[in-house]
Amino acid sequence: MTTATGGLASAQGTVWAVLGGVALCHCINDIMQSLVSAIYPLLEEEFALSYAQIGLLTFAFTVTASVLQPLVGVVTDKRPLPMALPLGMGSTLLGIVILAQAPSYPLLILGAMMIGIGSSIFHPEASRIARAASGGRFGTAQSVFQVGGNVGHAVGPLLAAFIVAPFGRPSLLLFTVLAAGGMAVLYRVSDWYRRQPPAPPRAARKSDGTALPRGRVLGALVVLAVLVFTKNAYTSSLSSFYTFYVIERFGLTAQQSQLMLFVFLGAMALGVMLGGPIGDRIGPLAVIWVSILGVLPFTLALPYVGLWGSVVVTIIIGVVIASAFPAILVFAQELVPGRVGMINGIFFGLAFGMGGIAAAALGVLADARGIEYVYKVCAWLPALGILTIFLPRGVVRAG
């Protein structure tokens, strides 16, 4: 199956410099994002925040991103706007400045929202550029692009532990240098994409598309959306509250808890890196089956194992569950050819939105029933992976 960007990429081969550029900027973008959740223990102490307020902070960031991303995707399908990417990174830079200097909780919310706006601009268009530079290796390109983000998420807690924790919240201003560098790289990447041949007319793209009926396509997209919810609701429970869980259950310090979070986020980066290339070889449908439903025994075990058992189980969970997203995204792109921006916007936005809604709800649940109870409930979410049985076969063939 060939899309507009797929045809272009296949003709010119994989452009690794461009893939590396968008992956690097994804790393920078997500370092900024992960710093928000990584400094939650500091914010809780400084502003006396409840779990519900922490969940609302995550909600403000993720829902801002999730609402805007599909709109950005729809607009850029009609008229790509790669030069908006440096402006998006500028919004993220401004958000970091606000978080570093905010004297009150409402301004913390504003800073989180500015980072969300930056992400909403970045993800759909940067993912489109990654696909255009893929040389037809769509799963691999998505993995390279997304692993940059996961590395950023993993590195963020370490930077928070060794820079922000000892030197205080104003030290966040140091990271504006990274954001400024990202703006420069995105300008170069955007200029490359701007100079590529235009996409074929939409009618020509439709002729290469899937033969599935419209209702079947919509049904498959709904199943994929539920699977994204399953994945992101569970990973949000870890990225937002895992530091508090290990502090409460195992008596770790705030800095030690950041290292535990780094283990999980690093495992997710490895899973994303593996998921795309494996999907190119065996097909994304097989990856989706294993990554969602296959993680269930380990999520069920996590609330009952000890400290070192938690380290091992968390690594397995991170690797397995993170491999799903590149496969889900490629599967959705091939279901709706010619709408790369819209699909990227919807699914990146859905991923953020589901994570934000889950964080807010889980924060209320943690206040009411305790943080350990949250993980006993969330452990059953991957059981929804059984819905993969309703996805159509043969939409994307293995390479």
The rounded average pLDDT for each run of 10 residues, N- to C-terminus, in the chain (399 residues) is 41 73 91 82 85 83 76 75 87 94 92 89 83 78 81 78 84 93 92 71 45 80 86 82 87 83 83 80 83 90 91 92 82 76 70 70 85 88 88 66
Q: What angle do CA 55, 307, 259 make, to 5 degrees?
A: 60
User: Taking the alpha carbons of 189, 193, 195, 196 in that order, is the dihedral positive or negative?
Assistant: positive
Encoding tokens for residue 317? Answer: 């969970």
Q: What is the DSSP string of 106-152?
A: HHHHHHHHHHHHHHHHHHHHHHHHHHHTSTT-HHHHHHHHHHHHHHH
Structure tokens at 300: 């069920």
Neighbour count for residue 105 (Cβ, 10 Å): 15
Distances from the Cα of 251 to the Cα of 214, 254, 292, 313, angstroms: 53, 10, 31, 19
pTM attached to this predicted model: 0.68
Cα gap 251→242, rounded to integer Å = 13
283 in Cβ contact with 397 (< 8 Å):
yes
Calpha distance 67→65 (Å, rounded):
6
Alpha carbon distance 245, 303 (integer Å):
10
The alpha carbon of 263 is separated from its chain's Cα centroid by a whole number of angstroms, namely 17
Tokens of 24: 């690097």
C-alpha pair distances (Å), 325 with each of 161, 185, 272, 332: 28, 25, 7, 10
- What residues contact 26, with CB distance under 8 A and at least 6 apart? 122, 126, 145, 146, 148, 149, 152
What does the pLDDT read at residue 372? 86
HSE value, Cβ hemisphere, 13 Å, CA-based, for 315: 7
User: Which tokens is 79 given?
Assistant: 């008229």
Half-sphere exposure of residue 99: CA atoms within 13 angstroms, side-chain side: 35
- Copy the structure tokens of residue 391: 């996805």
Phi, psi of 198 (to 5 degrees): -65, 155
Q: Where are the domains of the chain?
A: 4-390
- The label of the residue with tokens 């009952």 reads 304
Distance CA 176, CA 57 (A): 21
At the topology level of CATH, where does 4-390 sit? Growth Hormone; Chain: A; (1.20.1250)
336 to 153, 205, 305, 343: CA distances (angstroms):
29, 10, 43, 8
E runs forming strands in the chain: none
Q: What is the pLDDT of residue 79?
A: 77
